[in-house]
Amino acid sequence: MGFLIDEKRLVFGVETAKTTYAFAVDNLGLLRHLYWGPKLNGLEDFEVPELSELSSNDPILDLTDEEYPVFGGMRYKENCLKVIFADGTRDIEYKYVGYTQTEEELIIHLKDVYYDFEFNLHYKTYEEQDLIERTVSVKNNTQAVVEIEKIHSAQIHIPYQDLTLTSSHGRWLAEFQEFKQPLGQGKIILENRRGISTHNHNPFFILDRHATETEGEVYFGILKLSGNFSTIIEPRPYGGTLVQMGINPHDCLVTLQPGEEFVAPAMLFGYTNEGFEAMSHHMHDYAKQNVLREGVRPVLYNSWEATEFDVHCDEQIALAKKAKEMGVELFVIDDGWFGERHSDADGLGDWYVNEDKFPEGLNPLIHAVKDMGMMFGIWIEPEMVNPPTQLLKDHPDWIYHFKNRVNDTSRNQMVLNVTLPEVQEFIFNMIDDLLSKYEIDYIKWDANRPISQTGVSRDMWLRHIEAVYDIARRVKAKYPHLLLEACASGGGRVDYGMLESSFDDFWTSDNTDAYDRLTIQNTYSYVYPVKAMRAWVTDANNRSTIPLTFKFHSAMMGTLGMGCNILKFTDEDMKLSAELIEQYKQIREVVQNGDFYRLQHTSSNNYYCYEYANETEAALFVFLPQTQISRTGVRVKLRGLDANAQYTFTLAGTEMKKSGSYLMNHGIDVKLSGDYASTIIKFKKA
């Protein structure tokens, strides 16, 4: 497995455990896609038919399934690379000049026939997860500047047109709303143009042919980039569908100085003929084995809902004591601890402890939290600044702005120009100062508005997020124990770019309504790991009263947190919360590190059924938001168990023991009643 190369015929193969991806250099010298699908027995059977024009209206360059199409010649299709050479030429004519193979990577070298300009296609495999990673690096070997107008990381070809697209749309408080649509014959573009990622679309796609959770062909991919991305999906006139992902060319121009090289963000993609479940397992396994920190995430309490900006040391300690009584392991103080931060109109940028709120600094709070045996966390929004702050008075040119325009404000704040080295140092030093002075275990990094008035440099959309990545990596290199949470007014920064740049958790949405979260978390689970999904129990409620148990069960589907004003909790609330947190701790290992299943059922009632399983145990979550007239139960067939083993569990108060084969093929009957009913059933392998 890995890479196959037929040097004589210049046919290349990329193999995973169950798939083959193949391409070749054809008779015109073009790098041409051949195949992507179930695994084949080598490259011998591949033929590379010679291409010839069909008509003057069908140029050969436009018909060819190029592995990486460029802008140039008679190409009218979507391209992945478009440049402007110093003499004004806006055209690439490339030739294949060789390849490089290492243990981890296959690199195909392509070069312009006239200019000393090269671009190299990089391929990497994650064999057991059946995933392929692609990116492109471009190098300017000329003696003049080359400008890149568009650069997409990769293009993939799917041999069908009768496909259904699944992805997410949304807005603030409604991220990760699943949508499905047939491709038809139009071009579909999913994108972001806001700089600080987006709640509207997410950089992933899923294309299937009549697939279910457990059957059918599924093609999928993600882009490892926060901020301005572009996904283009287009059925081709002569059959098949192409997908491109990369940096959004909107208002973007990357300048390459002589001798300079640029590497695009990576695209990760895969194929399975075993349905959406296998797709999710491949992506989750990739994250758990290659990206996420080992171990389990702590149960968190965040004080925002209890106090908002009105934070004071004594009250925070009182909250921490109540949180500890319930079994919380990490106490996080949110916004309001710094500067003149009494509302969202001031304070951002002045990162000193407010002496009125904390007369003796943060240490009394931190020491109290630590003495209780809990970790301590804190909220920051380092990319932003409020106009009244001393920081902006001292450095008025540190924001994105046009000198002849009124500065844009949103949420009473402006965006720092993080592309400036001095701003990067300011942010790093601020975080470094906090972490060196105080025993901080967790940072919630927020970003609450889009970027605007970006100035004359049109590459800043990309450079901004690259700078954020770099700061995060520097921080984690110096403080490897630190947990970093990515937040952008909720789920505006949920992507693999953030995960792979040293962030550990996502704040999935500012919407913490327990029922709404079921749909948000369901769509999130398609490609993102459960372990990184922060989910809270809060006082938020978009409908009639939801029981505390339902709230906990919904939040226990990810990495559990709390945000209620627990100072108002009754003794009964405290007791129940402690019991449910303890229940979560008993299943936390399988929830965060096990395999996740979206279970299907045939009940006429609107049940939501999910399962987590590993080699020794499983946890079944069943929700019934509202009982229908029929008042029927649901038969749940489990997944991922050992068919030959026996499992013990308790159902409706009765201890039972059944075989894995029985549980997966016959299933168990669960009946809930009333509104917002829920249960968790634990299965232990005997």
What residues are designated binding site for substrate? 172, 334-335, 411, 444-448, 487, 510
478 and 412 in contact (C-beta within 8 Å)?
no
> Which amino acid is it at 635?
R
Sign, CA dihedral 126-273-663-178, equals positive
Distance CA 492, CA 510 (A): 10
Residues at the binding site are 172, 334-335, 411, 444-448, 487, 510
Chain centre distance of CA 528: 6
Sign, CA dihedral 549-553-554-558, equals positive
498 and 506 in contact (C-beta within 8 Å)?
yes
Helical packing angle, 571-593 and 313-326, nearest 10°: 70
Place of tokens 């590379």: 48
Q: Among 350, 446, 495, 513, which one carries the catalytic annotation?
A: 446
- b/e per residue, 455-493, with b = 16+ CB within 10 A? eeebbbbbebbbbbbebbebbbeebeebbbbbbbbbbbb
Tokens for 51? 């291409």
% helix, strand, coil for the chain, step of 5:
20, 35, 45
Chain centre distance of CA 229: 13
Specify the DSSP element, H or E, that contains 120: strand 117-126
Helix (H, G, I), strand (E, B) or coil at 356: coil
Distance CA 280, CA 599 (A): 13
635 and 674 in contact (C-beta within 8 Å)?
no
HSE-up (13 A, CA, CB side) for residue 181: 15
Q: What are phi and psi of 242, to 5 degrees?
A: -110, 150
Pairing relation of β-strands 106-112 and 117-126? antiparallel
Angle at 466 between CA 465 and CA 470, to 5 degrees: 115
Distance CA 495, CA 527 (A): 10
Distance CA 156, CA 19 (A): 14
Active site residue 45: no
Distance CA 343, CA 82 (A): 46
Alpha helices in 237-387 (DSSP H): 275-290, 304-307, 313-326, 363-371
SS (H, E, C) 6-20: ECCCCEEEEECCCEE
Q: What are phi and psi of 467, to 5 degrees?
A: -65, -40
Helical packing angle, 313-326 and 363-371, nearest 10°: 20
Sign, CA dihedral 440-444-449-451, equals positive
Place of tokens 């139960």: 633
- Count of CB atoms within 10 A of residue 523's CB? 21
Q: What are phi and psi of 102, to 5 degrees?
A: -120, 180
Distance CA 75, CA 69 (A): 8
Active site residue 446: yes
Helix (H, G, I), strand (E, B) or coil at 408: coil
Q: Among 408, 510, 642, 675, which one carries the catalytic annotation?
A: 510
Task: Cite the active site residues.
Answer: 446, 510
